[in-house]
């Protein structure tokens, strides 16, 4: 009928829910932003550097120790080994993946990310964890390509056998979660190579 306004609601499809979830073997993998946790986790992985600057508490805390003692501790401090995973107590546990050396350019290396992924899943298995939150390691600036991280993660997940891990939350800062999961599900290294061409 002419003259009658269109009163139908303007709907659009929003990505979310099942679109941001896949199953890899028996592991449920969900991609979601930090502010929307899909389930509670036993441990959270954080990117860190050899001197733990990236994981330092940003809030100022008054120190009661004598300055000479503090300076002695600073001078005696030894860097962590790149690729190492440091476990910090708490609920949930904090896994510090040492993938950066701030004295180098670029600060990360692919072999450190691979070693950290091995350490993360080994520590999760040793502790019989069921749920883990993991960011796309190394994708900060200057960054490893997200597609390459997905290839490395898929390689590591393919090596797992009989793990206690049931849920993996890929923490994403933006709307690329569906893309990451599609790449992970495809599992083709050629896909990463094609994205570089």
Q: Is residue 27 part of a domain?
A: yes
pTM of the model: 0.77
Q: Measure the CA–CA gap between 102 and 88, rounded to whole angstroms.
A: 21
Q: Is residue 4 part of a domain?
A: no
Total tally of structural domains belonging to the chain: 1
Closest to 19 (Cα-Cα) out of 29, 8, 4, 34 = 29
Q: Is residue 1 part of a domain?
A: no
At 119, which CATH number?
3.40.220.10
pLDDT tens readout for residues 33-71: 888 899 999 999 999 999 888 887 666 667 777 778 767
Q: What is the mean pLDDT of residues 178-182?
A: 75
Contact between 130 and 169 under an 8 Å Cβ cutoff? The reply is no
Residue 173's domain comprises: 18-53+66-196
Contacts of 119 (CB under 8 A, 6+ apart): 83, 84, 85, 97
State the DSSP H helix or E strand holding residue 157, giving kind and residue range, or none if neither: helix 146-159
Closest to 44 (Cα-Cα) out of 84, 79, 90, 81 = 90
Q: Is residue 180 part of a domain?
A: yes
CA-to-CA dists, residue 114 to 43, 57, 81, 108, 132, angstroms: 19, 26, 13, 11, 17
State yes or no: pLDDT of 72 exceeds 60.
yes
Q: How many C-beta atoms lie closer than 10 Å to residue 169's C-beta?
A: 24
Cis before 166? omega within 30: no
State yes or no: pLDDT of 179 exceeds 80.
no
Question: Which residues make beta-bridge pairs with 96?
Answer: 46, 86
pLDDT tens readout for residues 85-135: 999 999 999 999 999 998 888 899 999 999 999 999 999 999 999 999 999
């Amino acid at each position: 009928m002419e003259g009658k306004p269109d009163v139908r609601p303007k709907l659009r499809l929003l990505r979310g829910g099942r679109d941001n979830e896949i199953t890899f073997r028996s592991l449920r993998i969900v991609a979601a932003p930090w502010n929307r946790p899909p389930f509670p986790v036993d441990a959270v992985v954080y990117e860190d550097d050899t001197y733990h600057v990236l994981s330092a508490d940003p809030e100022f805390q008054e120190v009661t120790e004598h300055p000479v003692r503090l300076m002695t501790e600073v001078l005696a401090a030894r860097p962590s080994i790149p690729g190492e995973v440091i476990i910090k107590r708490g609920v949930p546990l904090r896994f510090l993946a040492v993938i950066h050396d701030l004295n180098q350019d670029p600060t990360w290396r692919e072999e450190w990310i691979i070693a950290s992924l091995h350490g993360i899943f080994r520590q999760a298995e040793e502790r019989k964890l069921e749920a883990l939150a993991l960011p796309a390691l190394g994708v900060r600036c200057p960054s490893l390509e997200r597609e390459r991280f997905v290839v490395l993660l898929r390689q590591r997940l393919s090596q797992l056998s009989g793990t206690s891990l049931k849920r993996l939350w890929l923490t994403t800062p933006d709307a690329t979660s569906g893309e990451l999961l599609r790449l992970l599900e495809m599992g083709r290294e050629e896909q990463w190579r094609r994205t570089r061409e």
